[in-house]
Amino acid sequence: MLKKPPEIVAAVDLGSNSFHMIVCSLTNGKLQTLDRLKEMVRLASGLDKHNNLDSKTQERALDCLERFGQRIRNFSPESVRVVGTSALRMAKNSQQFLEKAEKALNHPIHIISGIEEARLIYQGVAHSLGSNANLRLVMDIGGGSTEYIIGSGDTPRVKESTPMGCVLVSNAFFKDGKLSRNAFTQATLFAEQQLEPIQKQFQRKNWDQAIGASGSLRSIDKVLKAKNWSNNGITKEGLELLVAHITQCSHINELNLPDLDTERLPVFPGGVAIIYATFKSLGIEQMTVSDGALREGVIHDLLGRLYDHDIRSATVQTLADRYHTDKEHASRIKQTIGFILNQLGEDYFGPNHENLVQFLNWAADLHEIGQDIAHSHYHKHSAYIIENGDFAGFSRQDQVLLSTIVKAHRRKFSRTAFKELPSPWNLDAPTLTILLRLSVLLHRNRQEYQLPDFKITVIKSKISLQFPEQWLAQAPLTHADLIQETEYLKPAGFKLEFA
């Protein structure tokens, strides 16, 4: 935990339809909303047939982020969390866009998986509604994906993300705003197909109340109330009347629905098709709409990190249990890492030191999870699981970083693997990995014994180890391992010296 948490925090949600930002004051761990900003960017509409974001959409998005950046540009790094969702997951040229976007905000952007998005959405809804024992079905229609979660209190139990959103469905079935009964039927059928694999898990008998989050569901709720088609949230009867109205029109300009924002109009039919299919497939009769959503979940997740409740640490321990790691061995490695870092100094890695050390310790906890699959090349199996798993609290970039460190913790060592990491990780991660390699090497016999008080210095690419006199002579295997390690590190431009 930080010595003094920031007084103001912010969360930014780069959704596939809208960009949202929430700014809150933080006093004694309590949040109070100071500012909300929202702009309809429609990022998913800018994906071409090769899933590249076109330049016009990028420009529109960057203009928005410049405005957002004016509000948070000077916030401290630990006080802001920015997440990207479906459209940025899909975009093949997302890295090129992210570089410019991060410059506009002056903060890193983390792309999260659909399952992580679902977890954060549930957190946002749970905090806005307060805790109760009911099993809740939470649904969130985004621009490029729709998330479904069943949970109780603050805990999500089942999480799913489906590749359908109001922008994607509207663009696919209601191109240029054209409407027809057949198009709506096809859009609904498409949504039902996406729901088919999760239908059994999420059907009505498995939860007590249905809650909707997101702009699409709030818009539908407003329209139903304004037309007197429902006075109790979104109801099945109300949706039937709305669908009947939509299928009688030939273009979105004919909809003439009260309380429907004109910016929402182009993606409204796609959102209605998704919710209509959901009600039919899951047997929903009524859904309450919540104000809490992804951005509120992100801000509460950030709060957890500030107050020593980082979900990522719990995730790492769960994985260590699941893959039957040797926790005593990992603990010895972490003690040695700590011993080395104490000698290097608490600001060795600069302002990002604490964050880097956290990842190094997580890597120590998880570096052997691949042994549960196969002992041969276990570091590669470990890296694969870390990069491709659904890890609560971790962004894609987090997982790639952790995976890269773990994969490089033994045998051949190359700088190439680190070049694709975002700054400052591309510069710091190689040294970080070498510290893990040395700590693992010094505990290769896996026995409980006290290492000598060795000295270590790291100056740029030169690492020097000084052991007590005669210790290496009495530890010939460690001596041989260190000779081998100098050969592994040499091609990457690192010089390891020891005596």
The predicted model scores a pTM of: 0.94
Domain borders along the chain are: 8-112+296-302, 115-294, 310-498
Can you tell me the mean pLDDT for 352-381?
96
pLDDT range class, residue 27, cuts 50, 70, 90: confident
142-161 pLDDT, tens digit each: 999 999 999 999 999 999 99
Sorted by sequence, the CB contacts under 8 Å of residue 128 that are 6+ apart come out as 290, 291, 292, 296
Alpha helices in 442-471 (DSSP H): none
Encoded tokens for 29 = 């761990």
pLDDT for 424 equals 87
Residue percentage of the chain with pLDDT more than 90: 91
pLDDT, one tens digit per residue, over 431-469 is 999 999 999 999 999 988 889 999 999 999 999 999 999
Q: Is the peptide bond before 424 cis (omega within 30 degrees of 0)?
A: yes
pLDDT tens column, 125-144: 999 887 676 899 999 999 99
Per-residue exposure over 275-313, b if at least 16 CB sit within 10 Å of its own CB, e if not: bbbbbebbebeebebbebbbbbbbbbbbbbbbeeebbbb
Vertex 215: Cα angle to 209 and 216 (nearest 5): 75
Question: Rounded mean pLDDT of 334-347?
Answer: 95
Distance separating the N- and C-terminal Cα atoms of the chain: 38
Average pLDDT over residues 268-272: 98
Percent of all residues in the chain with a pLDDT value above 70, rounded to a whole number: 99
Phi/psi region, residue 204 (left: phi>0; alpha: psi -120 to 50; beta: rest), is alpha
Look at residue 3 in the predicted model and tell me its pLDDT: 60
CA angle 205, 208, 211 (to 5 degrees): 115
Give the residue with greater pLDDT, 450 vs 251: 251
What's the pLDDT band for 71 if we cut at 50, 70, 90?
very high
Q: How far apart are CA 404 and CA 1, in angstroms?
A: 26
115-294 folds as Nucleotidyltransferase; domain 5 (3.30.420)
- Please state the rounded mean pLDDT for residues 105-133: 92
State which H helix or E strand residue 427 sits in.
helix 425-441
Both tokens of 189, joined, read: 């059928």
pLDDT of residue 290 exceeding 50: yes
Does 23 have pLDDT greater than 50? yes
Q: Which CATH class is domain 8-112+296-302?
A: alpha beta
**Which ranges in 348-394 belong to alpha helices (H)?**
353-366, 378-388
pLDDT number for residue 1: 45
pLDDT at position 131: 64
Tell me the pLDDT of the chain averaged across its residues.
95
Domain 310-498 class?
A: mainly alpha
CATH topology identical between 8-112+296-302 and 310-498: no
Give the model's pLDDT for residue 436: 98
- Quote the CA–CA distance of 352 and 348 in Å, as a whole number: 9
Average of per-residue pLDDT across 226-248: 97
The pLDDT, as a whole number, for residue 75 is 96
Contact 63, 39 (CB under 8 A): no
